[in-house]
Structure 1
């Protein structure tokens, strides 16, 4: 099946880290739901590290960069929320996760509203 549509191709080494990132994220969230505090805390580092690496690797592709910035801040918010549930009884502290979640939303909004609108002009 032929198509005139341009192909989106990424290097295999990038795909491998993206797939590994999913494994890290799932393990971190499994630790969260199972209340495995030590492993959950340990899993924050490779999960955020992989997200940072993916974001850095895609810095030259604006659409990928902005989506990966959103994912990076999503994981930061997610990790912060997990930590507050692990170590505090003050439910109000988890609401600070709205800050990195909002940064991610701004990155996505910039792509879908700002950049896409500017491209159509």
Structure 2
């Protein structure tokens, strides 16, 4: 499943690069769904869960950015100098915050349990 996930992700990004809108938009769904399934299946391991949720957020941000470019609203202004493309930072930064939580707070407090696994 993880390998198939990479195929869908590559197809989505190649479609973005080549401006193949229907295929790019269609590939969002299997890519994101599989990443969420992988996160769900690894939920018992905090390290895997945090990384897989961050990946799902990355795919979400990346997909939103692609759609904003495909449908030409990426450079429209939301507020001040902030454009709709900049809204992709919300899931990107959310993923970073989850990883920061894991590495800065969770992992140092649970080293013993992770070494056993």
> Would you call these one fold, judging by a TM-score over 0.5?
yes
Q: Corresponding residue for 1:60?
A: 44
Equivalent positions of 1:1-121 (< 5 A) are 17-91=1-75, 92-119=83-110
Structure 1 unmatched ranges of 5 or more: 1-16
| Distance in 2 (alpha carbons) for counterparts of 1:120 and 1:53 | 26
Name the SS for the 1:98 alignment partner.
helix
Higher strand share: 2
Scaled by the length of structure 2, the TM-score of the pair is 0.85
User: What TM-score does the superposition give when structure 1 sets the normalisation length?
Assistant: 0.83
SS of alignment partner, residue 39 of structure 1: helix
1:119 Cα deviation (Å)? 2.9
CA RMSD in angstroms, aligned pairs only: 1.4
User: How many residues are matched?
Assistant: 105
Matches of 2:64 and 2:107 in 1, distance apart? 31
Query: Which consecutive unaligned segments of at least 5 residues does structure 2 have?
Result: 76-82, 113-117
Superposed structure 1 runs of 4+ greater than 2 Å apart: none
Give SS of 1:85's match.
helix
Change (3 A) 1:120 1:89: closer
| CA distance in 1: counterparts of 2:108 and 2:54, whole angstroms | 19
